[in-house]
Amino acid sequence: MKKGNTIFFENKPAILSYAAVCGTKESEGVIGSFADVVLKDDMFGESTFEKAECKMLSTAISLAVKKSGLDEGDIDVLFSGDLLNQIISASFAARNYDFPFLGVYSACSTMSESILLGSTLVDGGYVNTAVCATGSHFASAERQYRYPLELGCTRPPQAQWTVTGAGGLVLGRSQKGVKVTCGTMGRVRDFGVTDVNNMGAAMAPAAADTIIRHFRDTQTEPADFDLILTGDLGALGSRILKDLTWEKGFDISANHVDCGEIIYKVVESEFQGGSGAGCSATVLNSYILEKMNAGLYKRVLFAATGALLSTVSSGQGESIPCISHAVRLEI
């Protein structure tokens, strides 16, 4: 059933299991004790950062499948994507498996987009199980989007820090566990922000748009949720999001949390917090789902945000189109 841009899942696909892999810096923060694997070094025993990112992603996928108690042969489809050109981490990770792979790219909102797509297939009865996973690596993202790692340049105060980590979950049919009850498909929003260092300001309108449409489509209000979780807006973007939603009559300040804002403990040169596809993926697949299963949060709106730019488009002076997909998780 669909209302507005929101799809309602009548059979309520369940999250059977989840797993997260995170870097050393991330493990010092809130997700440290909840992540399944913590990297001892940024290379993860590989020769390049790209291979390390791929290995993190496949580790998260394998762990999630293993924790669900299913065999790899029981998995019907894998939805995955990442930040690198041609989503190489996801595709290269997928060659380790015998199940089909559907690559998705939605920048940092890949996690929520893949949950949305996976839930649709599971809910419709087209597949029994779907794996959704994504990840990012600080070093590979820096190389692709910014400067060489060792280049001595300053970071502007609006900047965020790409999270090294990957997360994955298995969707299926079960009476137990966290259910995906509905999801709102995002629209691409662009308010004309051209500053590539200010992703929070660029993505906040997309997040506000999706969250407000979710409230309207489902006739809910912010107080109905225990948590409204955005992906990687950072501290600045979160402030803007609260203002934007407040302006439309929805005050989310009481229960809004941003994964990027909470992921790092030490504020050194992360400034506004974490970013990247791995940011929401690691926080959701460790801390949040753990707390949901423990009954702390009963209803969470997970709206990861993504900036759909490339180095070419920003080099040519284009502004940054952004998107946010939301899924509602309930227990």
76 vs 209 by CB, closer to another protein: 209
Asked if 155 interacts with another protein (CB under 8 A), we say yes
Asked if 154 interacts with another protein (CB under 8 A), we say yes
Q: Give me the least distance between CB of 39 and another protein, in Å please.
A: 17
Spatial separation of the C-alpha atoms in residues 27 and 6, rounded to whole Å: 35
The whole-angstrom distance between residue 21's C-alpha and the CA centroid of its chain comes to 13
Size of the site for another protein (CB under 8 A): 33
Asked if 205 interacts with another protein (CB under 8 A), we say yes
Q: Give me the least distance between CB of 202 and another protein, in Å please.
A: 9
Could you tell me which residues come within 8 angstroms of residue 113 by beta carbon, excluding any fewer than 6 positions away? 79, 81, 104, 106, 186, 304, 306, 325
Could you tell me which residues come within 8 angstroms of residue 147 by beta carbon, excluding any fewer than 6 positions away? 153
Amino acid at 16: L
Spatial separation of the C-alpha atoms in residues 121 and 115, rounded to whole Å: 10
221 vs 243 by CB, closer to another protein: 243
Q: Give me the least distance between CB of 247 and another protein, in Å please.
A: 10
Asked if 151 interacts with another protein (CB under 8 A), we say yes
Fill in the per-residue mask, 9 to 48: x = in contact with another protein (CB under 8 A), - = not in contact: --------------------------------------xx
Q: Which of 180, 143, 159, 210 is nearest to 331 (CA)?
A: 180
Among 125, 152, 249, 295, binds another protein (CB under 8 A): 152
Cβ atoms of 281 and 59 within 8 Å: the answer is: no
Q: Name the one range near another protein by CB under 8 A: 74-82, 102-110, 150-158, 216-224.
A: 150-158
Spatial separation of the C-alpha atoms in residues 258 and 237, rounded to whole Å: 9
Q: Name the one range near another protein by CB under 8 A: 96-104, 197-205, 275-283, 286-294.
A: 197-205
Q: Which of 302, 291, 276, 213 is nearest to 25 (CA)?
A: 276
Q: Name the one range near another protein by CB under 8 A: 105-113, 127-135, 155-163, 276-284.
A: 155-163
Q: What does the DSSP 8-state code read for residue 189?
A: B
DSSP of 40-93: SSTTTTSSSHHHHHHHHHHHHHHHHHHHHT--GGG--EEEEEESSGGGHHHHHH
Asked if 214 interacts with another protein (CB under 8 A), we say no
Among 64, 236, 281, 323, binds another protein (CB under 8 A): 236
Asked if 295 interacts with another protein (CB under 8 A), we say no
Query: Contact positions toward another protein, by CB under 8 A?
Result: 47-48, 50, 143, 147-158, 190-193, 198, 201, 205, 236, 239-240, 243, 269, 271, 313, 316, 318-319
